[in-house]
Amino acid sequence: MRHGVTQSNIDGRHIGQREEDLTDEGRRQAQSLAEMLKDEPLNAIYSSSQVRAVATALEIVKYHPTIEILRDPRLRELELGIFDGLMPEEAKRMYSDAYSKREQDKFGFRIPGGESYADLIVRVRPFVDEMLRLYENGAVGVVGHQGLNRALLSCLLGEAIPESRVPFLVIPHDAYIKVTRTQTQAEALVISKGVQQGLEEML
């Protein structure tokens, strides 16, 4: 799951590891997600340690009162370094060289003071491996962020998502992505109220 919407999300402002709470609409989205997930047999709920993700997770555990939210700093959003807090046009004007290089290689370019998507995948892969080991036959809910969830999906789905597409996956605020894995294959579905869509909807 991605956290509910924040004001920076609405404005289109870069928001990486800065703290920002949900808007009223974001809280409604979190409540809607919680209702959609109430019948999922979750064994654990992990959350980014950032405020907006924890606020979303708190809504979800209302329907799973025996589960404690496990806050994991590995699930924090992509570190945006010098771009964090800026509107895209501000970042382009103030840091034109870095902005241009990232436009050319959004997966591999490391933002000064921040991370690349390649870095982010290295950060979250141990978490994914740990979850697959601990909950081999169970279900785990993860509340993260758009960039973070892109990296998680890359780790879980492998070659189904080319590296070049990872930074452009569409991660909604008002739906959850259900990944089902077997020994031979993995499948992802985007689930919103009464609607299921395949991975191609995110690509």
Q: How far apart are CA 188 and CA 29, in angstroms?
A: 21
Does residue 68 sit within a domain?
yes
Does residue 118 sit within a domain?
yes
At residue 200 the predicted structure's pLDDT band, cuts being 50, 70 and 90, is confident
When mean pLDDT is compared across 8-12, 45-49, 196-200, the lowest value belongs to 196-200
Q: Please tell me the predicted confidence (pLDDT) of residue 181.
A: 86
Does residue 191 sit within a domain?
yes
- List the one residue out of 30, 31, 47, 35 whose CA is nearest residue 152: 47
Find the DSSP H helices in 1-145.
7-11, 24-37, 51-60, 88-94, 96-104, 117-134
Does residue 1 sit within a domain?
no
What's the domain count of the chain? 1
* DSSP code of residue 160: G
For the stretch 23-50, pLDDT in tens is: 999 999 999 999 999 999 999 999 999 9
Query: Which tokens is 92 given?
Result: 């382009």
Q: Give how far the C-alpha of residue 186 lies from the chain's centroid of Cα atoms, to the nearest Å.
A: 18
The arithmetic mean of pLDDT across residues 57-61, rounded, is 98
Element of type H or E holding 197: strand 195-198
* Domain enclosing residue 153, as ranges: 7-201
Q: How far apart are CA 126 and CA 74, in angstroms?
A: 9
Mention every residue, 6+ apart, whose C-beta is less than 8 A from residue 185: none
Does residue 54 sit within a domain?
yes
Total-model pTM: 0.95
Does residue 164 sit within a domain?
yes
Phi/psi-derived region of residue 52, left when phi > 0, alpha when psi is between -120 and 50, beta in every other case: alpha
For the stretch 72-104, pLDDT in tens is: 999 999 999 999 999 999 999 999 999 999 999
Does residue 105 sit within a domain?
yes
> Which domain CATH number covers 126?
3.40.50.1240
At residue 120 the predicted structure's pLDDT band, cuts being 50, 70 and 90, is very high
Rg (CA), the chain: 16
Q: Please tell me the predicted confidence (pLDDT) of residue 196.
A: 86
Find the DSSP H helices in 135-166.
146-157
